[in-house]
Amino acid sequence: MSRDICVYNEFLTDAHRARIEQAARETGFTVHFFDNAAQAEEFVRGDCEIIYSYLPSLVQAAPHLKWFCCASAGVDLFCQDDSLFQNPDCLLTNSSGAYGTAISEHILMVTLMLLRRYYPTYAQLVREHNWKRNLPIRSILGSRITVVGTGDLGTSFARRAKALGAGTIIGVNRSGRQPDPCYDKIVPTAQLDSVLPETEILVLCLPQTPDTVGILSRERIALLGPESIVVNVGRGSAVDQEALAEALNEGRIFGAALDVVTPEPLPADHSLWETKNLLLTPHCSGDTALGWTCDKLVEMFCEDLFNYAAGRPMKHLVDRKRGY
């Protein structure tokens, strides 16, 4: 009997498919690539053992699924509702580790755009053909940064900020444990309030879990100073959007850059589009269009395929209860 892998991911190049086919051959699997979600869904209704994709509908359709490898880092869609998996023992792995490069460069870009007043001021002046200069600008050099969530995304950014001369980098995580020497200090989430008043650049890199929803609450936004910047690249649910928009519109904080919002896609008539000093991007910070990201994703799937086939622990296994 053949053991089947269903693959549905738009980003794959021919080289990526060849790499996956080779790994499947070496582990005794047959791989089936789909460009059409409905056809993939039809296929997995049979005896499919492994799916490599990002679509909840495929998981839901597969009665004999033993392993779902998600091509995203965030797997909240697969952890909210246990009934999604027909097989309660199905393994779930994520792709945390592939997005750090792309997303940390996004964080750098938006932080500089806000600190240097490219957005909104210079962008607006240039659109008006107005050669006005010498507005006050700020630097990453010497800045006080707080990174909430010290996984791949947060730490990829923190390392880069350190290399650019950031003054103090505080990491915030559940355990209070030091994951990387680039952090000057780690504080547990329970002490987040104490670091907010001194924070100039607050970066949220959190998965969506019951603990992280609403973590940047109205009360915490009120603790931030008038020079502070908020950047969110995790999930939109981490932020009280209404309170953030009020703080921005009233000039109580300096600026914000949201790549993730609630809901997505953001409706065209949503007030967030026109919030003052808010740099919005359409959840593009970790785009799989970045070649390095795609190569890394495929490498990570193949690595865990060998682990799975050999009965070894899987490197990117997610605790479905915990959500990451």
Q: Which of 37, 123, 190, 222 binds its own copies (CB under 8 A)?
A: 123
Position 106 contacts its own copies (CB under 8 A) = yes
Q: Contact between 37 and its own copies (CB under 8 A)?
A: no
Closer CB to its own copies, 84 or 112, in the complex: 112
CA distance 60 to 9: 17
Q: Which stretch binds its own copies (CB under 8 A): 65-73, 79-87, 247-255, 285-293?
A: 285-293
Residue 222 in contact with its own copies, rule: CB under 8 A: no
**By CB under 8 A, residue 77 contacts its own copies:** no
Nearer to its own copies, 21 or 184 (CB): 184
Q: Name the residue nearer to its own copies (CB basis): 165 or 197.
A: 165
The 3-class secondary structure across the chain, one letter per residue, is CCEEEEECCCCCCHHHHHHHHHHHHHHCEEEEECCCHHHHHHHHCCCCCEEEECCHHHHHHCCCCCEEEECCCCCHHHCCCHHHCCCCCCEEECCCCCCHHHHHHHHHHHHHHHHCCHHHHHHHHHHCCCCCCCCCCCCCCCCEEEEECCCHHHHHHHHHHHHCCCCEEEEEECCCCCCCCCCCEEEEHHHHHHHHHHCCEEEECCCCCCCCCCCECHHHHCCCCCCCEEEECCCHHHECHHHHHHHHHCCCCCEEEECCCCCCCCCCCCHHHHCCCEEECCCCCCCCCCHHHHHHHHHHHHHHHHHHHHCCCCCCECCCCCCC
Query: Is 284 a residue that touches its own copies (CB under 8 A)?
Result: yes
Q: Does 210 bind its own copies (CB under 8 A)?
A: no
Binding residue (CB under 8 A) for its own copies from 88, 265, 311, 313: 265
Stretch that binds its own copies, among 51-59, 118-126, 194-202, 297-305 (CB under 8 A): 118-126
Interacting span for its own copies (CB under 8 A) from 26-34, 65-73, 112-120, 232-240? 112-120
| Contact flag: residue 280 with its own copies (CB under 8 A) | yes
Segment interacting with its own copies, rule: CB under 8 A, options 109-117, 173-181, 189-197, 312-320: 109-117
Give min distance, CB of 323 to its own copies, in A: 23
Footprint of its own copies (CB under 8 A): 101-102, 105-106, 108-109, 112-113, 116, 118, 122-123, 125-126, 129-142, 160, 163-165, 264-266, 268-270, 273, 280-284, 287-292
